Structures are given as structure tokens and as C-alpha cells.
Structure 1
């Protein structure tokens, strides 16, 4: 369980947890992007693209990464990371340390400049990879790999919901800091 740094942010976090429980947790038989089977699915895209949740997500995630020094941008593997990075970018514009956003394509473009990382120039810069939910950490690590090829220095992975199924260990094994805003205990769910 993570607690936000101020009562206002903790209220945002509790509001987001209630939205997740009410609107983003689905029970049944699901195959996750990792290939693992699960009896529930946390569909965070339903909320990262929702006008009620997106501002709170921006504030919560910005608070979560506040202790990571000298970062200039946030982003991750498209599509899950895109609305999170944008929410953080918009929220950070109100602070003394605004952050840019980037998008990591699954594969480099086969036309134009042939880029895999779009948006903020990340070469030589410290960045944080964001993700909506994580099971094994492989999506985040794919983004980390692409960022490193671009000359960026990924220093952390920050997720909204940690499924507590190995992603943290995989990310930390790559020398990155693991940060999660909400975990299964907060949602009353068991790790699978």
C-alpha cells in the first residue's frame, strides 16, 4: 500500500481506487498481455482515458515520481502509457519542474525518420517509464530497452496498479526503481 504525500493527494488516490473497484475491475477468465491467465482483469484504459480519473492520475503519478531526481520526461510503450504520460505532463506544467512526454512505439517506424521513440528528445536525459498495470514488467522493460538504444537513461518504472506478480523484481533486476500508486491490497484482490 502506498500513501500519497498530502491529504489532498491521498483523497485523489482513494477516489481513484474507488473508480477502479467500481468501473475497471472485471471478473471472469482472462489472458493477460504476458500470456498469464487470470480470474480478473484491471482495465485501466477505461479510466486513464476518462475525464473524471485522468486529472487525479496526473496528480497521483506526479507525486509518486517526485523523489526521482533530475528527470525531464515520462512515457512508455504505446498505448497504455500514452494517456498517463500526458496527464503527468499537464499536471507538471503547474509546477516549478515541468516534464515532457514521450511515446515508445512497439517497433521503429518503417518510414519518415524511422523513430521508435517520439516526442521529447530523450538522448542523454533521465526519464521515467510509466504504465497502467503491470504483471511481468515486460512492456515497461521493452520501453526501457528502446529508450536505452536512443541514449536515454531510464531510472524508474512507475505504474498505476501493481498486480504483484513479478514485475517489481524484473524491473529492479534491470537496476531501475519500482514505483506503484495502487496495489492489489488496495483493491481487495489477490495476486494470481
Structure 2
């Protein structure tokens, strides 16, 4: 079984939740894909790293990150998977806004200025969160080369309207959410 096939199996077994939920966009849904159940899972997390590297292999980047919290385990899984392959890949965490204390940074981790960055998130319906991260990364001087998602729940249109390409492991219709 391929890593992608096993990841899909785990997403369907562990992450698909039925019931009324309010998405981060404010939209209502009767089913939800809770990918933190996958990205923080002992088998799912490593699979995410390997599969995300595979779907983004056509892109040239040396940093990966996105808006905290959904993107954090995706970025670190990719960083660890890359290290296992002998590839240097840094990760970063993008806060919703700059800290009011300490170093007053919005982006944590190794610097992104002048570097090629892949913006990631676990899943997205509208693209708002990952595009907020893209804006912050660009403001910090990063060259954002694309967006990566584990599951695209419909964000591809808004992401592609910005001129960025989207690499998603799965589209919503591939999941067992019937």
C-alpha cells in the first residue's frame, strides 16, 4: 500500500467527523475533517510529511510553514521527513498577529527573508487562513512559491486567484464523507 493510500485510509477512519460544526470561515457544515487527529497521530504525522513532500516535489522551497495551529504539525512533519531523506528543510510558524512582547515577531523559527517558502495548512474551505499566512510571509520578505494542503475542501479557486499554485494531497470528494 502506498503512503498516500494509507493516509487516505487513516483520514477516513480517524478524521472524518459527522455533526454540526462552525468552520473558521464562519460557514456551517454537517461534517468536518479534523486533520489534527491525523497530523498529531503516531502513524499519520510521518505519513503527512512524506506525502506532502511528494505532492510538492515539483516546487523549489527551503522553508515550509503556515498559520498556527493547523499548519504547525504539517510543517514539522515535512521538516522531519525531509531530514530523513537527507534534505535540509526549515519550518516556521506564522502567528495571526505580531506578539506584543519579547521579540514582537509574527513568524517564529529560522528567518524567511529572501527564502523560498511553501505555505501550508492541514485543510481549507475558503483559503483565508493560508492566504493570511502568505501575506505575513511576503511582508517578512519571503518568496512564497505555492500552497500545500492535505485536504482541499474548496479553497483551490481563491488560492489560484492570487496567482499561487495549490498542491493538495486530497480533494474533498475523495474522502468518505457521505
Task: Place the TM-score, normalised by the shorter chain, in its bin.
Answer: over 0.9
Question: Separation in 1 of the partners of 2:151 and 2:47?
Answer: 14
* Residue-by-residue CA offset, 1:81-108 (whole Å, 9 max, x unaligned): 0111000000101335321000001110
Residue aligned with 2:151, SS: strand
1:158 pairs, out of 148, 151, 156, with 148
Residue 55, structure 1, aligned to residue 46, structure 2: yes
Question: Separation in 1 of the partners of 2:172 and 2:158?
Answer: 18
How is 1:2-81 mapped onto 2 (pairs within 5 angstroms)?
11-69=2-60, 71-81=61-71
Please give the TM-score of this superposition, normalised by the length of structure 1: 0.89
Question: Separation in 2 of the partners of 1:96 and 1:28?
Answer: 42
Q: Unpaired segments of 5 or more residues in structure 1?
A: 1-7
CA RMSD in angstroms comes to: 1.3
2:75 pairs, out of 85, 90, 97, with 85
CA contact (8 A) 2:123 2:153 kept: yes
Residue 177, structure 1, aligned to residue 136, structure 2: no
Q: CA deviation at 1:189?
A: 3.7
- Dislocated runs of 4+, deviation >4 Å: none
Give the structure 2 partner of residue 119 of structure 1.
109
Question: Separation in 2 of the partners of 1:117 and 1:41?
Answer: 28
CA contact (8 A) 2:16 2:177 kept: no
Question: Separation in 2 of the partners of 1:160 and 1:131?
Answer: 7
Q: CA deviation at 1:161?
A: 0.7
Aligned residues: 178
Residue aligned with 1:93, SS: helix
Give the structure 2 partner of residue 94 of structure 1.
84
Question: Separation in 2 of the partners of 1:75 and 1:101?
Answer: 6
